Amino acid sequence: MMHALAFTLCLIGFAALALATRRQQHDVIGRSLPRGPVRGLRIVGTIALLLALGWLVARQGFGLGLVMFSGHTTMAAAVVYGALIARVRMAGRTARRR
């Protein structure tokens, strides 16, 4: 349960931070978002990562909590990065078929 919650928070955090960038906004939704929603995505991403860090450190102690946080953030970043790559490739295939 502890790992699932921490990983989910990291995944939400990195997904929000990725969608706060203009390039990913264009790739995913086709346009840039206004400043307000971008700021909100950055805040949500930061808070989610800090909550995951706090949760792991509180449950496992400072040393092991930081190591676990490093692992969870690495896995979550890889999943988000892979999903963004897959999204762009799928969109490219769809465009070529038309």
What's the pLDDT tens digit per position in 15-48? 999 999 998 888 888 899 999 999 999 999 999 9
Per the structure, how many domains does the chain have?
1
Binned at pLDDT 50, 70 and 90, residue 52 comes out as very high
Which residue range forms the structural domain that includes residue 32? 2-97
Name the percent of the chain lying above pLDDT 90.
76
pTM (2 decimals)? Answer: 0.88
Alpha-carbon span 86 to 27, nearest angstrom: 11
The type of residue at 83 is A
Share of the chain above pLDDT 70, in %: 94
Do 20 and 86 touch, CB atoms closer than 8 A? no
Q: What is the pLDDT of residue 95?
A: 63
